[in-house]
């Protein structure tokens, strides 16, 4: 069927991931990306956080022209040795090509690597694409590096390496409605579970094509929450969003979260934040 295989987890589908994917899309008539329903880290009881919800990463993968995304259950293959895993892929897909990143490992105890895939390419008759590391300011582009930038609030760099904007998605829930009393009504959502946490603070963003101000944190000025919350003020929007799912793209960190002496002082700062948002 002239099918190219792409192997990897691809959290965030960053610019280096995209190069791996496109090596197959540009070579084979059909492409299948073989991945997992959740990170293998979960199987090994390691802490796991994602850049995007899995369904968004899959959506981004398909937008690059991949015909099929196959999500395997990692526990079902965790004890398979590397040679058997390659044979499993060959028997099932008979690929004309296999594409991976330079540091891809597979098989029990991570015994499989690009060298093994290259060595097997002649035996099984496929072309092997091993994509070399891509760097940003001397560091190899990876999901780990992007998470580091996100945790540091360096959103613009993270977005550049992702090739798209980091985003938060959630159902709009009722809040204390204090924002509307000072002219800045907000839609409140919970920070998505298992998504890498950015620092508390005020951010500029987008909801659809509209500019938005986002406050993520404990709302210290009004001190009415026990759990951190994401508050989104969509500039120029009037309407009821309760119960709707909101996707908020994060563009830039404007400032840290801060406690103000009064609501009026808070309102004056939000006006300044709004001007910064409109520059983003």
> Active-site positions?
231
Question: What residues does 231 pair with on adjacent strands?
Answer: 188, 215
Look-up of token digits 């594409």: 99
Contact 179, 233 (CB under 8 A): yes
Q: What does the block give as tokens for 32?
A: 């299948």
Q: Which residue has the tokens 């290259």?
A: 118
Please write down the HEC assignment for all residues of 33-102. EEEECCCHHHHCCCCCCECCCHHHHHHHHHHCCCCEEEEECHHHHCCCCHHHHHHHHHHHHCCCEEEEEC
CB atoms within 10 A of CB 108: 14
Q: Per DSSP, what are the bridge partners of residue 127?
A: 97
Please say whether the beta carbons of 14 and 162 come within 8 A: yes
Terminal alpha carbon distance of the chain: 46
């Amino acid at each position: 069927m002239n099918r190219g295989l792409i192997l990897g987890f691809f959290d965030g589908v960053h610019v280096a991931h995209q190069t791996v994917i496109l090596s197959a899309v540009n070579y084979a008539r059909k492409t299948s990306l073989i991945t997992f329903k959740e990170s293998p880290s979960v199987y090994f009881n390691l802490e796991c956080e994602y850049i995007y919800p899995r369904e968004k990463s899959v959506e981004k993968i398909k937008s690059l022209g991949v015909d099929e995304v196959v999500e395997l259950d990692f526990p079902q293959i965790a004890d398979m040795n590397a040679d058997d895993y390659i044979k499993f892929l060959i028997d099932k897909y008979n690929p004309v090509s296999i594409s991976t990143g330079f540091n891809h490992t597979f098989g029990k105890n991570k015994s499989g690597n690009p060298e093994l895939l290259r060595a097997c390419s002649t035996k099984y008759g496929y072309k092997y694409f091993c994509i070399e590391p891509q760097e940003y300011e001397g560091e190899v582009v990876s999901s780990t590096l992007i998470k580091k930038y996100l945790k540091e609030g360096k959103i613009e760099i993270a977005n550049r390496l992702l090739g798209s904007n980091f985003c938060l998605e959630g159902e709009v829930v009722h809040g204390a409605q204090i924002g509307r009393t000072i002219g800045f009504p907000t839609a409140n959502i919970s920070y998505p579970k298992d998504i890498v946490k950015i620092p508390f603070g005020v951010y500029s963003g987008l909801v659809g094509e509209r500019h938005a101000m986002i406050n993520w944190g404990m709302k210290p000025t009004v001190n009415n929450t026990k759990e951190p919350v994401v508050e989104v003020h969509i500039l120029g929007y009037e309407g009821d969003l309760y119960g709707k799912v909101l996707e908020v793209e994060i563009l830039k960190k404007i400032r840290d979260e801060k406690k103000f002496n009064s609501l009026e002082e808070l309102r004056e700062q939000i006006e300044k934040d709004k001007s910064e948002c409109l520059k983003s």
